[in-house]
Amino acid sequence: MSQRIAILGGCGGIGRDLVAALRADGTTPIVLDLSASIEAHPMDVETHTVDATDADAMLRVADEAGEIGGFVNLCGFMSDAEPLATHTPETWASLIDGNLTSAFYAARAFSSHIIDGGAMVLTGSGLGHFARPGYGAYAVAKAGIAAITRQLALELAPNCRVNCVAPSAVDTAFLRGGTGRSDEQQAERLDREAYAKTIPLGRIAKPRDITGPIQFLLSPASDYITGQVLHVNGGTYMG
């Protein structure tokens, strides 16, 4: 793969682990994130401030980043648990815009900057495939990410492969409000001990459990894989 990989949401827990792993492999990561996220977790790499829900800003930052070998979209957040039918229009719009529309804006902006033979990796969720109560618009948005993955894989082939990782809960600030959207000290959204008991492998995911598969999907080792959703969840959902 090219030595330059752009990472949207690179200051989050998974993003920081991916940045470190790529650098260890001799790859140059380019981090794109909210200004609050960059301030909370500054890194010694090329960094660009962007709001992924701003279509024009995404085009601008893609031009600034220039030619890349791959693009990873880790952008996303969830709201407090509540039934879908009780969502306000504002909650629905916020979650769809922040998780799904932003993925469209990012793919639209960065796809033309990926070199031939490069790769794009989106981030979905097991909740987009395995319905659980209380996740509402977030789950709908993540189901949409799987559809976007397949659509882009067809339309960008053979020059660019497009795949998706779909994690279960990961031990990051995402469970405490999210990087750049909270002080990362809020109460967690789930009971870890109870959650771990539902997982065949017996524990919650760590960032490295997710970044390893992302690196695989960026690498030549996955040259014949496109349009796929890779579930990384300790066996919780087997699709």
CA–CA separation, 46 and 37 (whole Å): 14
Tell me the C-alpha to C-alpha distance, in Å, between residue 144 and each of 102, 135, 164.
Answer: 12, 14, 11
The mean pLDDT value for 53-62 works out to: 98
Is 193 in a helix, a strand, or coil?
helix
What pLDDT does residue 115 have? 97
What pLDDT does residue 154 have? 98
CA–CA separation, 90 and 142 (whole Å): 18
CA–CA separation, 23 and 7 (whole Å): 13
Predicted confidence (pLDDT) per residue in 206-230, tens digit = 999 999 999 999 999 999 999 999 9
How does residue 1 score in pLDDT terms, banded at 50, 70 and 90?
very low
**Which domains are present in the chain?**
4-232 (3.40.50.720)
The amino acid that residue 39 corresponds to is E
138 is catalytic: yes
How does residue 57 score in pLDDT terms, banded at 50, 70 and 90?
very high
The amino acid that residue 107 corresponds to is A
Is 72 in a helix, a strand, or coil?
strand
The mean pLDDT value for 112-124 works out to: 97
Residue that the structure tokens 């793969």 belong to: 1
Q: Token pair for residue 2?
A: 């090219």
Predicted confidence (pLDDT) per residue in 183-198, tens digit = 556 666 667 788 888 8
CA–CA separation, 95 and 88 (whole Å): 11
The torsion angle over the Cα atoms of residues 74, 221, 146 and 52, rounded to 10 degrees, is 30
Tell me the C-alpha to C-alpha distance, in Å, between residue 93 and each of 53, 87, 96.
Answer: 11, 10, 5
pLDDT over threshold 50, residue 165: yes
CA–CA separation, 201 and 70 (whole Å): 31
The amino acid that residue 136 corresponds to is G
The answer to whether residues 14 and 232 touch, using CB atoms and an 8 Å cutoff, is: no
- What average pLDDT does the structure give for the chain? 91
What pLDDT does residue 190 have? 67
pLDDT over threshold 90, residue 238: no
What pLDDT does residue 186 have? 62
Q: Which entry of 135, 138, 195, 224 is annotated as an active-site residue?
A: 138
pLDDT over threshold 80, residue 161: yes
Question: Is-above-0.75 flag for pTM?
Answer: yes
What pLDDT does residue 74 have? 97
What pLDDT does residue 193 have? 81
